[in-house]
Every structure is written in structure tokens, then in C-alpha cells.
Structure 1
């Protein structure tokens, strides 16, 4: 269930900045009532438009705020005339902010046309100059087009984000499926044999203990062989060499929609260092896919001052001013590297994103 949320303070401030044209009708407000009506209109517009831009609240709440904005704007324009026609520009923009995020924003387009028609009729009724009507008319069209473009861009960005999350989930699910398939291939036949032989042992236990003992010995042998095969399979997953792990990381990132550049200038490393850095690559890649929302990731393996150095850096949405708080996976890697005389450092990138650097003396 999607939880309705309020617009952020930043969103409301961003919308409020664009209400400076309301200064003109404010200077023409000859009465306290007019000024109060204009203030109420601006507050309703800022909150309602911010709700629309950020898809906050419920559809009903957004509709209610648009109705308030449209009613106040039209009423004030009718009551006070030429200098208040600008309010209908904001009525149009609010309608597009609220309804313009749909794939086919027909409602938003219709509301914009209604605001333009109201501007024309009210301007003619108040005998406003055609220059004023035309300027306000053109401003409403251009502003509405800009707001519509922003809303559509926001919709496309949201769809892209959902697609990237789905790709990341698919990459993780594919890895789990591959592991489960390998385990099934290893254990399916073995467990079937164990079950059959156990049934034989149960039937022979009383009338032919020697044959039952022989079958039990076979079960023991099959079980031991199964344990060996499982250890080999798990070792293959856990201790893949660095070269293979880098190749797998690039494929996993690509599947999740993240462009990856892999640079390796280090010579072949000792087996222990190779396996340990492969662990680091696997954990770092998993974190990038699951948590970073990145578009690009750089992985480099170099030798600096007698130590192998692995760096994984992404351009995700980790704030440049934030302090990393490593989870259990990174804490476990830190302990493993420190036990081998190495170190693991994490930091926010100056341009946004996250970087991880592992150093291991050779």
C-alpha cells in the first residue's frame, strides 16, 4: 500500500520562488479582503502545486487543493479585473502540476484551455487592454508548457527508477536461481539414492542384518560424497578467483542497468590475496546493485607501494556530505582484510556516490 505523504519543505520553497509575478496584483489590492484572498490563493497554490510535482498526498487531496486554487483565482480575477488576470496563469500551472504526470495528460491540457478561456472572458468583461490580455495569455501558455515538460520528465525519471530497481532485483534473483539450480543438480540424484537405500535398510534390518549393514555403509559413502560435492560447489561460489569475479561483476552490473568500467593493471596476485579481493569485489558489487541507484561504476585493481589496491566507485545517490555507516557485509570484509594485514576504507565521493578501497600488502 502506498502511503500518502506531504510535500517537502524544499518542494514548497521551490514552487514559492516562482510566485513573484503576484507582487503586481498585491500592489493593486486596495482592500484588506483582496490582500487576504491573494494570500490564501498563494498558500493554496504553493501547497497544491508542490503536492502535484512530488506526487504527494492522495489523488483526492491534490484535486481538493486544485479546486481551491481555481476557485480563488477565478473569483479574485472576476472581482478585481485587469491586474489580477495573472492569477489564472497560476491556476493553469497548478492544474498541470497536479494532473500533468499521466502518460496522456488530457485532463491537464483541458484545464489549461479552461484557464485561457477564463482569462479572455474576464479580460474582455473588465475592458482590459488587448496588450495586457495577450501578454498574460502568452505567459500562461509558455509557463504551462514548461510545467508540463517538468512533470513529464519527472514521470519518466520515476519510471526509470522503478525499472532499475526491477533489474537489480532480477539480477539478484537470477544469481539465487543459478545457485539453487546447481544445488539441485548436485543433490537431486544423491538424495534419491539415499532415500531408496534407507528404505532397503528398513526392510532388511530384521531378516538380513548383514545386507542392511552393507546398504547402510553405501548410504554413508553416498552421504560423504555429497558433502564433498557441496563443499566444492560452495567453495566455487565463495572462492572464485579475482579475474572471474571481475568478469561476473561486470555482467551483474550490466544486467542491473549500470555501466561498468574494469581496469586491472596489477600482475597475477598470490592465491590468498586473489581470493580475498574476489570476496571484496563480490560484496561491493552486491551493494552497488542493491543500494546505490547508480548509473556508472568504476572498478580498478592496481599495485601501489607494495600493496594490492582494489577500488570500487559508483555515481549513485549517496550524498557527498554523508558519512558512510558500513553494514554487516562490509564489517566482515574489514575484519578479514585486517586479519591479513590489509585495510578497507569507505567514503562519499565529492560529486556524489560511494567509493570503497581495499588495500592488501603483498
Structure 2
């Protein structure tokens, strides 16, 4: 009976051990699965954020990914190279252990301070950082020169801190100095075996400096790309506001003039008033089409169409239009730019000048085109807000190598003069 009891106990203990092993194995598998699930969740979150940034037209933010760029915490694990020195102190193999412990404390404090200051440019370039690096070099030389052995491994840590702090042209001479000192001190203890310390010191400093410089360059390029994207958005906003100002200013002026004409003639000639109303409807429909085209970015201001609209608008306002054209056919881009000038100048003449006559003269050669629009009014045509009207036209033409001058004409009235290269493509895209 006793044997059966013992056998039963043995079987029970064995079963308990087996269940414990299975439980431990299961817990380990669960922890591994949790880590994989957490990593997958972080990747999915990062990818979702990058899709959202792409949908908003922003540049990718590679620094926010699961791995991220290097930082001060990535340089702290290298302090484990000093575990051999700590072991020597614990086992009583180091003379004057309190001096060694104090040296380790000072070394670790200076190293942590330097690596955290290395990732902030103002702090990295401060005089205090250079003093900390000098103190770290002095402590390293004192400990390695006094104890040797595992304490020589602090030289590669000194090289790593040097590579993290010193950048640019100063890096090479400083690293050669640190490596030479490491070679001399290690050579006194290890002889030719000190080559490993020399190699480790030089390589740790140069590789650290290269990696951190590359990370900074990538960050600066990313910031530059984002700034260029913002500048492109600003340019597009400016183009769109300019187009809307030119389109709506001209169209609404024509509608106002024709509405006034319809109101004046309606009591005595209803048919003529209805003709003006039909013109208003046509102008409104054309304006809707032009605005849709401007929104989609495909609109080109045709010079011939703008001249026809200018004649109609001036005539409706009681201003006699006179148009003179000479020279060879114009390239589409040049004609589009001059079409904007005709539209704005005619609109200003209708709205501000109070003129009775407006002359539009276009003279072109193989190399250059000149457009002059003169009215005999007295309105302050040039007093448009900054960034709108004639100011916007001046920007358009300047982007294509042209000029726009405005001011009083010699015999009274107001004059707008636009000059452009016959082919402004070399000067930029002035239509937008």
C-alpha cells in the first residue's frame, strides 16, 4: 500500500511538472504572440498615418515609422562595454576600487550628458559640450592608463562620444588625436594587441559621425521637401486668386454695364433692352464655363477672344474701341499672356476711367511683342490692391521675362504697356 502511495505521489508530481512545463511554454508563446501583434499594430498605424499624409498631399514622414531615426537612447547600450571594469571592481581585482568606482560614475555621467546634447545643434555646439568632451577624454586616459585590461575598452566609448558631438571638418583631426592617444596608452599595456583598441576607437567615432550626419541630412531633405510642397501650394493659391480676380472682375463689370444699359433703354425700347438681357445671360454662361476651366487649371486666355470681349464691353459702356494689330502670329503662350492684359486693362477702363475712346495696339516682331492700351479718361486705373489686377499681371509677365508699365499717357488718359519675348517659354510659365 505504501508502494502504491509512493507511486501515486510520484505520478502526481510528474504530472504536475509536465503541466508546469506546458504552462511555461504556453506563457512564452503567448508573450511572443503579443509582441508580434504589438509590432503588427504599430506598423499598421504607421502605414495608415502615411496614407493619410499622402491623401493630404504632404511628404512622407519616415522618422515616425516603427524604427525611427537614431537618437540619444540608441547610443546608451554601448555603455555595456564597461561591464568588464565593473566586474573587476566587484571581484576585488581593481586596486583602489573606490577610485575606480568614482571614475566609472564620472565617465558614465559625462557620456550620457554628451550623447543627449549631441542631438540638439545649439547644445552640441555650446562651449559646455566641448568642456564635457575634454573631461571625458581626461577621465578615460586616467582610468585606462591606471588600470589597463578591460578599462581600455572605454577608449572606443570615447571615440563614439567624439563622433556624436564633433561634426564637419573638425572631426578628422580630433578623431586622429583621440585614436593616437588610445594607441599610446593601450600600447603601454598590451603591446601590438592594442591594435584592436585603436581600430575600435577610430571606427566607432567615424561610423557614429557618418550615421548621425546622414540622419540629419535626411531630416533636412524631408523638411525641405515639405517646404517646397507648401511653396507650391502657395503659388497655386496665388495663381488661382489671380485667375478668379481677372475672370470675375471683367465679367461682372460687363454684366453691370449691360444691366445699366438695359435699365436705361427699357422704358423706350423694350426689344433693345431684351437684347441687353440676352447678352447678360450669354456673358453669365460664359463666365460659368471659364470659372469651371480655371478651377480645373486648364484655362488659357485666348487673345482673339479677349479682344472680342473687350470690344463688346467697351462698346456697351459707351467707349469707342480702336484695335490695331501687326506682326507675325503669336505663340499660344504669348497670346494667352497678352489676353490677360487686354482683359484687365479693358475692365479697368470700363470701371474707372470715364473714357470715351480706348485704343488697343499690338505690334510684334520675330523677337519681341509690344501691347499698348490707351484710354482718354481720367480714372485712377492703377490704384488696384497689391497682388490683384495690374500687380498680378506684372508678376505674370515678369515670370516670363516680360515687363508691364502703367501710368498717365503723354496727351492725357491712362496707358498700359506690356512687352514680352516672342517665345516666353524660356522665362517660365506665365499663364499660371
Give TM class, smaller chain. 0.3 to 0.5
State which structure, 1 or 2, has the greater radius of gyration over its C-alpha atoms: 2
